A and B are shown apart, each in its own frame.
Chain A
Amino acid sequence: MTTQELTDLLGLKALSTFEPREITGVFISDMLSDVMAGAKSGNLWITVQTHKNIVPAANLVDASAVIVTNGKQVPEETIELANKHDIAILWTESQTFELVGRLYSLGLATQ
């Protein structure tokens, strides 16, 4: 499944522009250090963090997309940086738990 297909399936809001990518798995954390230490290439990163530093962290580990949950507002500077680095920032009002359930039902899991 690609990031674009997932966006359409779950009705996620795309905050940045991006080239669709294959999703390899899911990584959930609100800590950049956790992500840098453990996320894998192509992973969807689910977080409530919205600071612009999520972009270089996602870029470093080659995440396929960042999904911001709980309806957290994402600053414009985060979106601008994501556009610059072709990082997909997706957004949902759903709670992380609910989103993870839907991802699991689609066959996505920890890589």
Chain B
Amino acid sequence: MAECAHTWNMTNRQFGFAVFERCSHCRIIRAYYAEQDSWDDYKEGEHHWSIVENAQTFRFDLECEECGMYVSYDDFLGLLYCTSCLDDCPVEILRKKYEEDNTWILVGFGFLPESSANPYSAEKLEVLSEYFNQRRDTSRSRVKILPNSLIDKLSLCRGDFIHDVGMLSLEPPEERKPLF
């Protein structure tokens, strides 16, 4: 039987929040998807979590309409676009390289801090790239989603997540505070 070329559809869409919080003791940043936003500080073991940002986002899965293959993204935080903040960052180097082929680079993040140690599955990011390319006119340009492990100085990264920030206000902030 021939291998399926896959035609991906987005399914199981749920709108919620990407929550970014920081521990005031160890300064570690934690980010995850939640159905409800939250602004309250709270203690959890040795950590004392304070909200850095709530952004509206959505979660989804992908399913191949040909073979039924199902890929879950319930541990996916979002897509970050490179703002060319560091010349020597591997993402910036790849961004310049891919730009020559009209390919636009994005960085896929799983929840933090888990995906700092174990980058988001390269296979799932490949499927996600394939999905967004199937949605676009690829004769003009393509997208390529890279794993966040390529960002070697996350604390200095000024890339921006494609999230809805400040949507509870009529006037979103002009400048988003650095997350990392």
Contact = CB atoms under 8 A, between A and B. Distances in A.
Interface stretch (B62-70, B112-120, B159-167): B159-167
Contact of B160 (A37, A49, A53): A53
If over half of B's interface residues share one DSSP class (helix, strand or loop), that class is named, otherwise mixed; here it is strand
A40 B60 contact: no
B143 interface: yes
A62 B140 contact: yes
Interface in B125-180: 132, 135-137, 140-141, 143, 160, 162-165, 167, 172, 174
Contact of A60 (B60, B140, B162): B162
How many interface residues does chain B have, given as a range?
20 to 34
Interface of A: 30-33, 36-37, 40-42, 49, 51-53, 56-57, 59-62, 75, 85
Ranked 9 nearest A-B pairs via Cβ = A62-B136, A56-B81, A33-B58, A41-B136, A32-B164, A31-B164, A33-B57, A56-B162, A41-B137
Given A37-B10, A61-B136, 17 more contacts: A31-B164, A33-B57, A33-B163, A33-B164, A36-B58, A37-B60, A41-B135, A41-B136, A41-B137, A51-B165, A53-B160, A53-B163, A56-B79, A56-B160, A60-B104, A60-B143, A62-B140
